[in-house]
Amino acid sequence: MAKALLHAAKLRKAYEGRTILNDVSLTLEKGRFYALVGHSGSGKTTLLYLLALLERADAGEIFWQGEPIHTLSPAAAAEWRGRHVGFVFQFFHLVAELTLWENVALPAVLRGASFRSQKTRALELLDKVGLRAQADKLPTRLSGGEQQRVAIARALLLSPPLLLADEPTGNLDAEQAQHVWQLFLDLARAHETTILVATHNLTLAESADTILYLKGGRLLQNS
């Protein structure tokens, strides 16, 4: 049996009196690729934010390799996230004034490293996503699909065991979406990265190891 990396139990979250997540439990195993699907507003983004400790659940527990993390202070949560989680946002969040390789290097720089010390690693990751030749360009010169690939490279800089992605193909055309999805598949297979991707694209989701369905604030699973 694969090793459980992260386990969440009976997570609840409400905003302004409206329940978004209701007793959601899930286990993410090492090296598996999970697709999280559900209609717009079903709580996919909220669940990802809770698992990354970007937001705090109203109730429930989260365990990392068997150790509770839902009780961590904000500072400790940020430290845990920086060491263990890569997060790909739907709208890239690249820094317009930095080159592609500098954007990729940024997570390490924010933790005290220099850009120079991270350039080789950043270039290797850009090569992995097919953008090394454009390393010195600014993000504004790239297409949406290319910017998303830079965001994925950035999320991988610190070699996180867990990668969370929020609708990373939502604003891409079919060809770009397939390319990005294949990157996730390759990561899960080749590097045993645990990946949870929120998507509304059921066709893409079918290639995941496990599909998680959010409906009515509850979670259903199809392996």
Residue 153 · residue 129 · CB < 8 Å: yes
Dump pLDDT digits (tens) for 70-128.
999 999 999 999 899 999 887 778 999 999 999 999 999 998 999 999 999 999 999 98
The answer on pLDDT for 42 being more than 70 is yes
Distances (CA, A) of 216 to 8, 18, 39, 186: 18, 11, 10, 32
Dump pLDDT digits (tens) for 131-163.
999 999 999 999 888 898 899 899 989 889 999
164 pLDDT tier (thresholds 50, 70, 90): very high
222 pLDDT tier (thresholds 50, 70, 90): low
Q: Which domains does the chain have, with CATH numbers?
A: 4-94+160-222 (3.40.50.300)
Q: Is the pTM of this model over 0.85?
A: yes
| Phi (first) and psi of residue 99, to 5 degrees | -70, 170
The pLDDT value given to residue 170 = 78
DSSP states along 91-123: T----TTS-HHHHHHHHHHHTT--HHHHHHHHH
Q: If you average pLDDT over every residue of the chain, what do you get? A: 90
For range 177-190, the mean pLDDT: 81
The answer on pLDDT for 223 being more than 60 is no
| Phi (first) and psi of residue 196, to 5 degrees | -125, 115
For range 183-193, the mean pLDDT: 81
The answer on pLDDT for 212 being more than 70 is yes
The pLDDT value given to residue 1 = 46
59 pLDDT tier (thresholds 50, 70, 90): very high
